[in-house]
Amino acid sequence: MARDDWETVAPFPETLAEIREANGETYRYCYQCGKCDAVCPWNRVRGFSMRRIVREASFGLTEIESEDVWRCTTCGTCPQECPRGVQQVELGVALRRVASKYDVFPAGARPARAVRASLTLEGNPLNEERARRGDWARDLGVRPFEEGMEILYFVGCYYSYDRRLRKAAAATARILQRAGVRFGILGEREGCCGESVRKTGAEQLFRELARANIKTWIDAGVRRIVVSSPHCFHTFRNEYPEFQVHFEVLHLSQFLRDLLRDGRLKLTGSVPRRVAYHDPCYLGRHNGVFDEPREVLRAVPGLELLELSDARQRSLCCGGGGGRIWMDTPRGERFSDLRLDQARDVGAEALATACPYCITMFEDSRLTREGEGLPAVLELAEIVAEAL
């Protein structure tokens, strides 16, 4: 190419300013080693380069209309392995905030935009009525939360509305009742934690949801919160303190472990199954909760606990984080397919986990692969309730 044909591409200062404002400027530390691409689960099913996204961001050249901006599941694998401390998840969220600001959503990301109306109107992403949020507990003897109760059980959107996951919420209620825990729920006063919609760039909506939950908790006299979803757990524990409040927050697996250790919960029924445990990204890798769910499963009589080939810090993402629970992923590109194969490979009769997104993704994979001898998918509380 002749020298006269060269084109100098200048940075776009406006884009760089937007990224900095959205707390995504750790791109400056990247020296393009490619470790993020090597560990990204996307590269097990298709080509994807987080390194390229980081490099383009450093010049303000990111194509915000690209599907790749919306591909990251925020699983946390690449920042865990990055030798330079680049926070790829924060950068990705920053780029989505820029795209959201200018209302740029490629076809694959449009469902993430659509859920925002449901969250604004009804406090959940599933387009369900707020007034029906507590219907799962009807006839179970679950009481509304009152000040002075031992814990608030914060159920979460999927456990409140999803037909499959409502079974796990009911199992949780039975366990807490059997252990003599004085607990209550907020029902229609409960709103979405806002974690996933924040990861899709809707910062203002997240802040509105967070403030509404915090006000409800303060007004109700809440001090201690137990949650079933790792996404709620992560948000309440690590992000709500941005609003200058601090509540004691436990994931259900932690609370069950404590109940077992204290002798308040006794498991006497045998569950003779070979069970593999899947570490959810937002429980394990993001928050270091690895041992508690395993301790609970080992306490179940008759259960044989198996480990998957990718476990604990190196657990394979289910594919539902970062708002991708609302987006379509083509068959052949689903991490959940790989995970079910791993469970089958170790001889598991059931794949257990403690996250609504993981349950949803695994169940969707099973439905599209009937007849392949895949293990059943069970929520942690369902297994414990079976052993009561």
Question: Residue 94's domain is classified under what CATH number?
Answer: 1.10.1060.10
Assess whether pLDDT exceeds 90 at residue 138: yes
DSSP per residue, 353-374: ES-HHHHHHHHHHHHTTTTS-P
Same domain assignment for residues 363 and 319 = yes
Structural domain span for residue 229: 110-259
**What percent of the chain is predicted at pLDDT more than 70?**
95
The answer to whether position 342 is within a domain reads yes
Same domain assignment for residues 89 and 119 = no
**Is the pTM higher than 0.85?**
yes
Which amino acid does the sequence have at 141?
A: G
Per residue in 105-137, pLDDT (tens digit) is 999 999 998 899 999 999 999 999 999 999 999
Per residue in 57-94, pLDDT (tens digit) is 887 777 888 899 999 999 999 999 999 888 899 989 98
Distant-in-sequence, close-in-space partners of 41: CB < 8 Å, separation ≥ 6: 73, 75, 77, 316, 317, 319, 335
The answer to whether position 75 is within a domain reads yes
Per residue in 342-374, pLDDT (tens digit) is 999 999 999 999 999 999 999 999 999 988 999
Mean pLDDT along residues 300-315: 97
Mean pLDDT along residues 254-272: 97
Query: 126-129: long-range contacts (C-beta < 8 A, 24 or more apart)?
Result: 126/157, 126/158, 126/161, 126/162, 128/160, 128/161
Assess whether pLDDT exceeds 50 at residue 297: yes
Per residue in 199-223, pLDDT (tens digit) is 999 999 999 999 999 999 999 999 9
Number of domains in the chain: 3
Same domain assignment for residues 231 and 131 = yes
The answer to whether position 1 is within a domain reads no
Same domain assignment for residues 274 and 247 = no
CA of 370: how far to CAs of 157, 328, 351, 358, 364, in Å?
A: 28, 19, 16, 18, 11
Question: How many C-beta atoms lie closer than 10 Å to residue 256's C-beta?
Answer: 28
User: What CATH number is given to the structural domain containing 359?
Assistant: 3.40.50.10700
